[in-house]
Amino acid sequence: MKLHKKDRQKILKETIKENPFITDEELAEKFSVSIQTIRLDRLELSIPELRERIKNVAQKNFSEEVRSLPIEEVIGEIIDISLDEQAISLLEIKPDHVFKRNNIARGHHLFAQANSLAVALMNDELALTAKANIKFVRQVLLGERVIAKAKVTGIDHDKGRTIVEVQSFVNQEIVFKGEFSMYRSRKNG
C-alpha cells in the first residue's frame, strides 16, 4: 500500500533523522517509490543528499575531537570515534576510485581509508604510521559503500607505539584487513 505524499514525507523525515546514513535507494525500496520521488521529497523537505548529511554529522560531532589531522584529510567520512579506542568511517566508491575498464576500486583508496582512520583515532597532535600489515580480502566495486572499523588493540608506552586493527566491510562482508603500528609523540598514551 502506497502512502500519500504528506504521510510519506513525514515518515521519510523521521527515518532520515533516525538513520542519517540511509541511501536514497534504500528509502525508495522502503516506500515502494522511485529514487527520483525520494529526491524530490528530500528537496521539498530541505533534507540534503547522503554525502552532505554524513559530512554534517562528522563535522558537528567529531571536528573538535580529532587531534592528529584535520578531519577533512580523513579518507571517507568519520561516523563514530572514541579517541585511543575505536572509530568507524564510510567511503562510497565513486568513478574516480575505480579502474575504468572493470569498475574495481583501486587498492590505495581502501588502504587510505583504513590508514587515515587509524591516524585520526590517535589522541595526539602527531601520529604517523610506522608499519602496516594489510590484506585485501575481496574486490570492491563501483557504487559499493565501505565501512571501516578501527580499534586500538595494544599500546607500547615505552616505544610510543599504538597498534590499531582495521577491518573494512561491504554489506557485512569483510573486504580489507589491516594492522597498523602507529607512532605517536606522547609516550605516556
93-124 pLDDT, tens digit per residue, is: 999 999 999 999 999 999 999 999 999 888 88
pLDDT of residue 126: 82
Residue type, 114: A
Q: How far is CA 168 from CA 77, 142, 181, in A?
A: 13, 16, 17
Q: What is the pLDDT, as a whole number, of residue 186?
A: 61
Is the four-CA dihedral 90, 180, 182, 115 of positive or negative sign? negative
Q: How do residues 56-87 score in pLDDT, each as one tens digit?
A: 665 555 554 666 666 677 888 888 888 889 99
How far is it, in rounded angstroms, from Cα 25 to Cα 90?
Answer: 17
The Cα-based distances of 85 to 11, 98, 118, 120, 125 in angstroms read 35, 31, 10, 11, 16
Percentage of the chain exceeding pLDDT 70: 87
> Which one is predicted more confidently, 187 or 141?
141
Radius of gyration over alpha carbons of the chain, in Å? 19
Q: Which residue has the higher pLDDT, 13 or 62?
A: 13
Question: Does pTM top 0.75 for this prediction?
Answer: no
Query: CA 188, CA 52: separation in Å to the nearest integer?
Result: 37
**Among candidates 124, 118, 27, which has minimal Cα distance to 76?**
118
DSSP 171: T
24 against 186, higher pLDDT = 24
Domains and CATH numbers, the chain: 5-47 (1.10.10.10), 53-184 (3.10.129.10)
